Structure 1
Amino acid sequence: MAEQAADTDAGPAARQASSSRAADAGWRWADGYDPQRTRREIVDSALYLFERNGFDRTSLTQIVSRASLTKGAFYHHFKSKEDLLWQIQNEYLDRQIELAQGILAGDSDPVEQLRALIRLSLAGIATYRAHVAIFYQERRHLTGERLRSVTEKRDILENMFRDVVRRGIEAGVFRGELNERIATYGIIGMCASAFQWFKPEGDFGVDELADQFCELILVGLLTE
């Protein structure tokens, strides 16, 4: 019961008290307390445990113990276990949105833009594999405003793909009989499923994977 209470959102008094205890983490580093490093250690610990054990079966005690930190250090950076999950989701989604916006601001050719978006999705899986796994497996644990904000960001990425597909159909380079929404769901679903089996250290790298996916997807889209 005490562990469950520790995982809920802390009130103002608890957060203030935890701030004064944040320096408890400083003993780990001879060069003194480093807030950014502490936050990174907590996130990395949670990524490892959430991916392997699931959100429900991971306790706050396990997260801080694996990071060799204290609960005081945790509450200095996060309000609760759900808040940590939310910020993990944001770390991945914000980076993908930023890079996707750069793609769409460049080459206006929908074929090349779609290739680039597919490569971005697969590179994201290679770089943020644990984030992606947790995004698809554990985001159901988000509630309220946190769930709404993550859903909005997911929709932003989806709409970027959909806009490229729509422009390709309008330009006559993608088949006109295709439904842009169904095509978009198919592309995103195909890319997303790769996190279940793709290993960057395996027999082929992310570039080869992206080339193969682009060929498979564009065969179904292109008019010629």
Structure 2
Amino acid sequence: MKNKIKQLSILLFEKKGFTETSIQDIVESLGVTKGTFYYYFESKEQLLMDIHMSYIDQLLERQRAIRQEHHSSRMKLEQIIALLIADIANHGPSGKVFFREMRHLSEDNAVKVKKKREIFRKNLAEIISEGIAQKEFRDKLEPEMVAFAILGVTNWSYQWFNPSGKISADQLARIYSDLILNGIA
């Protein structure tokens, strides 16, 4: 039931927004009582925090698996770009809630999520640094700034990317990888 509440809430938060979705909306959509909701979550914010932590923890786990592979830094970067785009394609509502609704977390909860986001970004910068050291990437790159740029390009896709549209998630990941790794000139 906890997972059902979470999954339905993600869809409601995506559609109506966090502040416009009430606990009553959630329980009515599930056909359960508020007591059922409060058995699993202390508050709507705790539910939102659970959604955020699940989302970032899953990304960190998949990023860790990519980092542990014995591939080139270039390949790891391509895989992480593909991971981020595939995640938007496969879990679009969760991504929208993750990126759009964080502002509704308390300061303490927001700090916890931001720390995990920072770990993801620093891991990405480390891959770039390793690629520079291995002469796969130009030596004058700023790994932190490149990591921010990659995350900006990929994460913003949740706003407009339609996985059933003209471009597939795999195609978009290849386009982004080519742009990031080869430029446009």
For normalisation by structure 2, the TM-score amounts to 0.94
Q: Kindly report the root-mean-square deviation, in angstroms, between the aligned alpha carbons of the 2 structures.
A: 1.5
Q: Distance in 2 between matches of 1:113 and 1:208?
A: 17
CA shift, 1:133, in A, is: 0.8
Q: How many residues align?
A: 184
**Structure 1 match to 2:84:** 121
Divergent runs of 4+, >3 A: none
Residue of 62, 70, 73 corresponding to 2:25: 62
CA shift, 1:73, in A, is: 0.6
8 Å contact kept, 2:5–2:30: yes
- How do residues 91-170 of structure 1 correspond to structure 2 at under 5 angstroms? 91-170=54-133
Residue segments in structure 1 that go unaligned for 5+ positions in a row:
1-37
**Structure 1 match to 2:151:** 188
**Deviates further, 73-82 or 176-185:** 176-185
Residue segments in structure 2 that go unaligned for 5+ positions in a row:
none
Q: Distance in 2 between matches of 1:43 and 1:119?
A: 26
Q: Distance in 1 between matches of 2:118 and 2:141?
A: 21
The code of the aligned residue for 1:50 comes to F
- 1:52 to 2:22 alignment: no
The code of the aligned residue for 1:217 comes to I
8 Å contact kept, 2:78–2:177: yes
The code of the aligned residue for 1:170 comes to A
Q: Distance in 2 between matches of 1:47 and 1:144?
A: 21
Q: Percent identical across equivalent pairs?
A: 33
Q: Distance in 2 between matches of 1:64 and 1:111?
A: 47
Asked which structure has the greater RCO (Cα within 8 Å, sep 6+), the reply is: 2
